[in-house]
Amino acid sequence: MTTNLPAVVPGHWDSEEGAAKAREYVKIGREQLAHGELSDLALANAIFMADRRSPNLLPLQTAAKDRIRWLSVQLAIAQGVGRATELEMDKCPKCGDRVVTVDIGPRPGMATWSCINPKCDYEGFCT
């Protein structure tokens, strides 16, 4: 499955470039972001407590920027801005066999999929 996102969503992104970045965030989970092991509150607290002259501040600020963008995309999806549709490809990009939906997640638009070929390790996830 994939999520179709409009080019402009006021309050979330305002250009096709923003929509392209949003589509990247649809494909990853929180744990795949920088400092993904931290909760939102823990990341905010780490930035607040960091020494302003510390070289550790910049990676934390970058992680927070990415987290805010990721959360914005997740909110837009939860509000129904993007609707999940069928996987746009019917052939595995890795081996050419068929791709099938394996598991529908706990909320609409969430699914995992994989290739039917047992020798192929292609998998995907969509929220």
Tokens describing residue 124 = 């995907």
Mean pLDDT of 37-55: 94
The band of 23, judged by pLDDT with boundaries at 50, 70 and 90, is confident
- pLDDT of residue 1 exceeding 90, the answer is no
One-letter amino acid of 29: G
Tokens describing residue 18 = 């923003």
Q: What is the pLDDT of residue 120?
A: 75
Q: What is the pLDDT of residue 95?
A: 75
Tell which wins on pLDDT, 71 or 115: 71
- pLDDT-above-70 percentage for the chain: 62
Give domain limits for the chain: 2-85, 86-127
Mean pLDDT of 84-93: 51
Q: Is 23 helix (H, G, I), strand (E, B) or coil?
A: helix
pTM of the full structure: 0.59
Tokens describing residue 116 = 């039917």
Count H helices and E strands in the chain, helices first.
3, 5
**Mean pLDDT score of the chain:** 75
Of 51, 77, 41, 46, whose CA–CA distance to 62 is shortest? Answer: 46
Cα 59 to its chain centre, rounded Å, is 20
